[in-house]
A and B are shown apart, each in its own frame.
Chain A
Amino acid sequence: MAERGAARKRTSEEADSSIGAVAGTADPGPLELDRLIHERVRLGIVSALAVNGSVRFTDLRALLNTTDGNLSAHARKLEEAGYIACQKSFEGRVPRTEYALTPVGRRELQAYLDHMEAIIRATREG
């Protein structure tokens, strides 16, 4: 069972690297894969923020079914890259963290979507 899970994970990782390899070799310009967005939790964060003005940390955590630490780490990476903006405030005595997608993040998500569509189109045409 564990072996099958590991095999599935390996296959998934191989597919990920294949996408990156194709993206990197076929056309290094517009088809280059944005690995920052490609990771599942980070992809979930930018997707959720794309259809909302801003989303609270607790709502994102529930939506993506992840832990505080995991969400914080991934959100920090996106924040450092300028894809999302973080606003911290207090609601009474309770700290409140909200995230919003920046114009850079929106552009990169669009590029990522274009990339995925290009892969699907290329496979169908091929």
Chain B
Amino acid sequence: MNLARSLRPPPPEPVTLHDRAMDNLRFIRETMERSASFTAVSGWAGVAMGAIAVGAAWAARGQDAPERWVAIWLGAAGISFVVAIAGMFFKARTAGMPLVSGPGRKFASSFFPPILVGGILTVTLYAHGQAALLPGTWLLLYGTAVVTGGAHSVRIIPLTGIAFIFLGATAVFAPPAWGDAFMAAGFGGLHLLSGFLIVRRHGG
């Protein structure tokens, strides 16, 4: 009898009220963080980035000097980056979520590696006089960044990334003179379209 009792597994430790309450609060916070990742990307910032890209395409068209063409697009990229960060910050603050919380960190760690590769390739291609390949390269790598960064986000984000990749893959085989048109269609058109969809469906 005593032997049977000693072989019986010990009863599970009861969950304390404190632990249960802590667990509930943790669940609420994690659910909020995960669901906020659905909308961390600001649609209005996307619309603004699209408008900036359309302006840049207009300014860059017909630029014969590659350095000026690259400078216009890099300038537009810099402004767009600031707009995107500001949009995400504003949206996170409106939702009462910290920008550097779980979803924000996940997005950044997946988004920036392809962008870094894009930066290295930009310097390399430009140094070798291959600036005509930049539109396709930028579209491809930005699309990759959007797909990986938005992997856990609403469907519209990775779908936008796939559209960028498709456009980039077409651009690398297209005549160099079409470069600005592809840039306007991608960084302008796709940002405007996805931005409006995010605004409409995912709260701004």
- Give A contacts to B, CB under 8 Å: 4, 7-8, 11-12, 14-16, 18-19, 22, 38, 40, 43-44, 47-48, 50-56, 59, 63-64, 113, 116-117, 119-120, 123-124
Contact status of A55 and B35, CB under 8 A, knowing A43-B28, A116-B24: yes
A119 and B17 form a contact (CB under 8 A): yes
Decide yes or no: A8 and B12 within 8 Å by CB, A116-B24, A120-B22 being known contacts. yes
A64 → B minimal CB distance (Å): 8
Closest to A48 in B: B35
Q: Which residues of B contact A56 (CB under 8 A)?
A: 201
Instruction: Please give the number of chain B residues whose Cβ is less than 8 angstroms from any Cβ of chain A in the complex.
Output: 32
Residues of B close to A53: CB separation below 8 A: 202-204
Assess the B12–A11 pair: CB atoms within 8 A. Answer: yes
A54 to B95 CA separation, bound complex (whole angstroms): 12
Indicate whether B14 reaches chain A with its CB closer than 8 angstroms.
yes
Partner among A7, A12, A15, A51 whose Cβ is within 8 Å of the Cβ of B97: A51
- B2-30 residues at the A interface, CB under 8 angstroms: 9, 11-22, 24-25, 27-28
Tell me which residues across on chain B come within 8 A of A15, comparing CB atoms: 14-17, 19-20
Task: Flag whether B96 is at the interface (Cβ < 8 A).
Answer: yes
Contacts of A14 in B (CB 8 A): 14-15
Q: How far is the CA of A12 from the CA of B13 in the complex (A)?
A: 11
- A63, chain B: closest CB distance, angstroms: 5
Contacts of B19 in A (CB 8 A): 15
Q: Which residues of B contact A120 (CB under 8 A)?
A: 18, 21-22, 25
Q: Are A47 and B32 in contact (CB under 8 A)?
A: yes
